[in-house]
Amino acid sequence: MSSTVSTPISAAPDLHNPNLYDLPRTRVGRAFLAVGATVFVAMCAHVSVPLYFTPVPFTLQTLAVLLIGLAFGPALGASTLLLYLAEGAAGLPVFSPHGLGGIAQLFGPTGGYLLSYPLAAAAAGAVVRAARGCLADLAAAVLAGIAGSFFVFSIGAGWAAHLLHLSPATAWRMAVLPFLPGEAIKIAIVAATYTTLHRWRRS
């Protein structure tokens, strides 16, 4: 009399999962993934150009934030950006060099942008998951990028207006309007990158 032992096949990657990474099965694997992503955000933060008419510099941070949200999904995306903020608050040189540095940067004029990143990543990850059921990959990624950027600008400009006592119109001109063309380009790059990698993973 023989018996057979069935082997679970759950370790195979789920090609219908919108996350681009192969979902590490251990906490250690996810931790390494998150730490590596914070290095990417820090590199993008150091591509920083100060602007004479606003305390908010132009950086590539939101490009990294949106891509992490799309690729990692809402939970790990938000956790990764929380880790990034913790690294900066602890004094690691991960924030834009055009700022106070450390925890003081979280409470300065650009603090609202920084504090919005976990929520923006979570929003982008959640929207792309929901939208992929009824939209093409590229359209879903664009919509997710817009959703994430909405949180970045609303929280960032709101915080700057509160801290600097700006009127809504002034906050719009200083903290939102000048960055919209660049943000549109970032969203296009992120959406195209996400879509290409997602199709490559499914092939």
Compute CA 178 distance to the chain's CA centroid, rounded to the nearest angstrom: 20
Sketch the domain layout of the chain as residue ranges.
27-202
Q: Interior CA angle at 15 toward 14 and 21, to 5°?
A: 75
pLDDT at position 99 is 86
Do the Cβ atoms of 73 and 148 come closer than 8 Å? no
Q: Name the pTM for this structure.
A: 0.86
- In order of 100, 104, 160, 197, the CA distances from 67 in angstroms are 26, 26, 25, 11
The SS3 call for residue 129 is helix
Closest CA to 24 of 12, 33, 36: 33
By DSSP bridging, strand 48-51 and strand 54-59 are: antiparallel
153 token code pair? 């600008």
| pLDDT tens for the 203 residues of the chain, in order | 444 444 444 344 444 455 555 455 677 888 889 999 999 999 999 999 999 999 999 999 999 999 999 999 999 999 999 999 999 999 999 999 988 889 999 999 999 999 999 999 999 999 999 998 889 999 999 999 999 999 999 999 999 999 999 999 999 999 999 999 999 999 999 999 999 987 887 76
147 token code pair? 């959703």
Closest CA to 69 of 25, 129, 159, 29: 129
Compute CA 60 distance to the chain's CA centroid, rounded to the nearest angstrom: 11
Closest CA to 81 of 139, 138, 122: 122
pLDDT at position 48 is 94
Q: Given this structure, which CATH class describes domain 27-202? A: mainly alpha
Closest CA to 144 of 179, 93, 79, 191: 191
pLDDT at position 100 is 86
Closest CA to 67 of 190, 186, 182: 190
